[in-house]
Amino acid sequence: MYEYTARVMDNYDGDTLTVEIDLVPNEDRDLGFGIHKNLRETTIEKLRLYGVNAPEVKAAGPEGEEARDWLRVWFAEHCPGGDFTLNTFQTSRLNTRDKQEKYGRYLAIVTAPDGRRLNDDLITSGHGVPYMVA
């Protein structure tokens, strides 16, 4: 399993997010001559929450919008600084890339600084159901 620091950019529904992921942690580097540079490399990626299925926003009924809105409140309550821990999975022993599902989204587990796991909370809140992605 891989671990990153990330921030949510947008969420389309309850189980799909666009996030900014830190590839290199913030470091204040002394470049010499009294010059300091804060180095940070990031990428923006689309994620699917691992093990959870939530209603689509475009589906009939209010459930999709309610799940999306619940997710926004969860981030505001549990990630007040914006950052959270993101875990992705290795595709296989032979292929060490981060695992993606059939639509190209990376499968991920989101953990807040307070230890809460979004994937679990989405299910216990009733806005998502357990789902195993192939």
Q: Are 64 and 13 in contact (CB under 8 A)?
A: yes
What is the identity of the amino acid at 65?
A: E
| CATH architecture of residue range(s) 2-28+35-130 | Beta Barrel (2.40)
Domain layout of the chain by residue ranges: 2-28+35-130
List pLDDT tens digits, range 45-90. Answer: 999 999 999 988 888 778 888 998 999 999 999 999 999 999 998 8
Q: Model pTM? A: 0.82
